[in-house]
Amino acid sequence: MSYRAEVYSIFIASPSDVETERKIVRDTIHEWNMINSNNKGVVLLPLGWETHSVPDMSRHAQIIINEQILKKADVLVGIFWSKVGTPTKDYPSGTIEEIQEHINAGKPTMVYFSKVALPQNFDPAQWNEVKRFKDFCKKKGLYCEYNSIDDFEKLFRNHLSIKINEYSSIDNTADSDEIENPDNVIDLLHDSKKYLLLFHDAINHAKQHKINEISAKLTGTFRKIYLYKELYGQTIMPSSHKDVFDELVESYNDYVTTVQSIIPLLNANRNSKEFEETQNNINIKQRKLLDLCNSAWKLFTGGLGGAKLRKNGGLPKT
């Protein structure tokens, strides 16, 4: 069945010593699409020179990559371990050139540095360039370090969900009319608890189509909660409300990341230790989410400190 979707391109920039991490980025993007694209109306497209470049002998290879692929990217993921790669005319490496050009274009750039022990045959000159570029990133913005391949996979899953929420959830302003009345927000919080419980039960017992159906309702509900926070969090929302909603959205992103990790295990051995550990982790995060939904609900219904909910064009006064 066809559906309309926004497409966001994610360029993967890295030298050859982080091939495993490159594969993890692609696999994580494909998993995200499988779980979320239909529900959110968003499709993520991983881009790389090895899959999206076309042979062209008219100019230097890096210039061609920049023109053919990099300019089309919405988000860039850069990954480094022991080296930066082959130098270009203007930069220490093609990877660094891609990152710099993307930053210069004002586009979101996610850079990761591995803290795994260096290989025995590492090139000291290349390693010095990695450290030099890390120093640049430290002054320029915020980068992320990871301690292992598993650590990178967990971090990137979480970061990808957060980044795409920044893109897609707030853009759908058509939902704003549905949340301008606080009573509607109360209904959303009630629905979020209901769908959390249904989704949790579906993961354990239902077939994939039922999981997708409930996931769509859960995602839609939290998208509207996120939109409420973004629209009113800096203006008329009391600080007590904002703190709870900030934690609620953050915890939901964390919950989704953990749920994504169990999806590949659903068709495998559900009696495995890995499945049991992931399921226990999901249980913990689900309970936290339910508690946060209850806290937000009490704020809106006057359950905390006897606060009264007043209406001003449908919104609570500070």
**Looking at residues 75-85, what average pLDDT do you find?**
96
**Looking at residues 15-26, what average pLDDT do you find?**
94
Q: What is the pLDDT of residue 234?
A: 52
Q: Report the candidate in 124, 129, 130 with the shortest Cα–Cα distance to residue 143.
A: 130
Model confidence band, residue 268 (pLDDT cutoffs 50, 70, 90): low
Q: What is the pLDDT of residue 63?
A: 83
Q: What is the pLDDT of residue 231?
A: 60
> Higher-confidence residue: 177 or 256?
256
Q: What is the pLDDT of residue 150?
A: 93
Measure the CA–CA gap between 110 and 144, rounded to whole angstroms.
8
Q: Which of 148-162, 176-190, 277-291 has the lowest mean pLDDT?
A: 176-190
Average pLDDT, the chain: 78
Q: Answer for the pair 71, 106: CB distance below 8 angstroms, yes or no.
A: no
User: Residue for token digits 């360029």?
Assistant: 11
Q: Answer for the pair 230, 172: CB distance below 8 angstroms, yes or no.
A: no
Structure confidence by residue, pLDDT tens digits, 165-220: 766 543 444 444 454 555 577 788 888 888 888 877 777 666 666 776 777 777 77
**Looking at residues 71-79, what average pLDDT do you find?**
93
Q: Which amino acid is at 208?
A: Q
How many H-runs (helices) and E-runs (strands) does the chain carry?
10, 5
* SS3 category, 13: strand
Contacts of 220 (CB under 8 A, 6+ apart): 39
- Domains of the chain listed by start with CATH number: 6-167 (3.40.50), 173-301 (1.20.120.230)
The structure tokens listed for 117 are 């022990």
Q: Answer for the pair 195, 218: CB distance below 8 angstroms, yes or no.
A: yes
Model confidence band, residue 133 (pLDDT cutoffs 50, 70, 90): very high
Measure the CA–CA gap between 255 and 172, rounded to whole angstroms.
22
* SS3 category, 4: coil
